[in-house]
Amino acid sequence: MTRRVLPQAPREYDSSFQSQLINELEVRDGQSVKMGERVEINGKDNTQVVLIAANGTKYKLQVDNSGNLSTTAV
């Protein structure tokens, strides 16, 4: 996933730009995880949880239909 960059502000106030900026910030805020929030990830949308070990090795976390957890090196 590529990070999107916020647009540069115009030299002078532009209400249209402000509206676009507020909309973009609200969209991004809705995509972030908040403290105390429950996060549910379903395997149908290709979202993955990747944990990184102290040595830098990355592991994808998976769960089967019985609730058993496993990891796969990625």
Kindly list the domain boundaries of the chain, sorted by start residue: 46-74
- Classify 31 as helix, strand or coil: coil
Helices (H), the chain: 15-30
| pLDDT confidence tier of residue 6, bands split at 50, 70 and 90 | confident
What are the distances in angstroms from CA 68 to CA 13, 38, 62?
55, 20, 8
* pTM recorded for the entire structure: 0.53
> What is the C-alpha separation between 52 and 56, in angstroms, rounded?
6
Q: pLDDT, tens digit, for every residue of 13-67?
A: 999 999 999 999 999 898 888 999 998 887 677 888 999 999 999 999 999 999 9
